[in-house]
Amino acid sequence: MRILVYDVAADSGGAATVLKSFYEEFRQDTENEYVFVLSVLELPKTNHIRVLNFPWIKKSPLHRLYFDQMRAHWLVKKYRIDQVLSLQNIELPHAGVPQTVYEHNALPFSEYRFKPWESFRLWFTQQILGRMMKRSIRRSEKVLVQTNWMKQEIVRQCRISSGRVEVKFPSVEMLKTAPWKIDRDRPVFFYPANASAYKNHRTFLKACERLQDHGYKDYEVIWTVTGKENKNIRSMQKEAEGRGLPIRFRGLMPRRELFDRYATSVLVFPSFIETIGLPLLEARSVGAGILAADCRYARDLVGDYQKAEFFEMFDAERLYRLMRSFCVK
């Protein structure tokens, strides 16, 4: 069988990690042939894997739309493709062959619905892109997801049989660290997350304000944002500095440093929309304490973990009390 793997969206981050994971799996499968259709990300060719790069797709959204709608399906004919695997949440238009769609965007299936004035981009993803994703799911022969909760929501919201949805947990390398140990005199609370609105840094900030109001000063908070990403994050950095809160806006860090930080910190994870919530798995792998928003993705991953505690996603008071248990005055 000749399979076309379509992922012109991937260039870095989680999407690139997913793509490379599939590539490594297919590299071992010499019974089938694969044609990877990508934009800028480069992968090695093998005897049974062909890699086609179209970097001009990244010039603008219009270039991407043109390629998706007008060019990509001709590759199916040119290379006599039997099946398409789309790794970018939506089927390949006009392919004319059976398709499998890999769904890794949780926004359209989340209980929380963004308003346009909260974040137009997230509202658009839920309301417009979400409808396209759901249509693709209904038309696809098979759907791949990362977690059980995503499978349940897709089956419920798209009204398809559970047999068409397969949970394919991503392959994740866990780095070795020293045993988990925190400084009880000055604990560190760590939150590795980007600046998206659903990452919910605001609830974390409010919990820190409560710690300060009750006389707790000997602790440190580390966020992997710089404080300059967007208006919301800039506002919180200004508030933190104004109140003298011990929040360090560290920015991105290398994976080795990330795991070393897990080993000496309490992971706080207030995000309320995630497909998988990878930091929860990473922190669990080193035996770290975890304080997480009480969402389905988190229960899936660490619901049975003895060092995990949960709080309602906007309950700063509950998070403050959980953080307080690690602090001394």
pLDDT category of residue 321 using cuts at 50, 70 and 90: very high
CA–CA dist 59, 62 (Å, integer) = 8
Question: Residue 68 pLDDT more than 90?
Answer: no
CA–CA dist 186, 212 (Å, integer) = 14
Residue 252 burial (10 A CB sphere; 0-12, 13-18, 19+): exposed
Residue 61 tokens read as: 């959204």
Question: Residue 304 pLDDT more than 70?
Answer: yes
Does 3.40.350.10 match the CATH number of domain 188-324? no
Question: Residue 328 pLDDT more than 80?
Answer: no
Residue type, 161: S
- Residue 13 has a pLDDT of 66
Strand-strand pairing, 99-103 and 83-86: parallel
> Tens of pLDDT along 44-66?
999 999 999 999 988 888 888 88
Delimiting residues of CATH 3.40.50.2000 domain(s) in the chain: 2-167, 188-324
- Residue 212 has a pLDDT of 92
CA–CA dist 231, 197 (Å, integer) = 10
Residue 125 tokens read as: 């993803």
> Tens of pLDDT along 128-186?
888 889 999 999 999 999 888 899 999 999 999 999 999 988 777 788 998 999 988 89
Average pLDDT over all residues of the chain: 90
Distances (CA, A) of 237 to 145, 269, 298: 35, 18, 27
Q: Write the CATH number of the domain with boundaries 2-167.
A: 3.40.50.2000
> Tens of pLDDT along 75-107?
999 999 999 999 988 888 888 999 999 998 888
Q: Does residue 270 contact residue 319 with C-beta atoms inside 8 Å?
A: yes
Question: Residue 17 pLDDT more than 80?
Answer: no
Q: How many other CB atoms are found less than 10 A from the CB of residue 77?
A: 11
DSSP state letters, 169-182? PPP-PPPP-SPP--
> Tens of pLDDT along 208-246?
999 999 988 889 999 999 988 888 899 999 999 988 999
Question: Residue 20 pLDDT more than 90?
Answer: no
Q: How many other CB atoms are found less than 10 A from the CB of residue 88?
A: 22
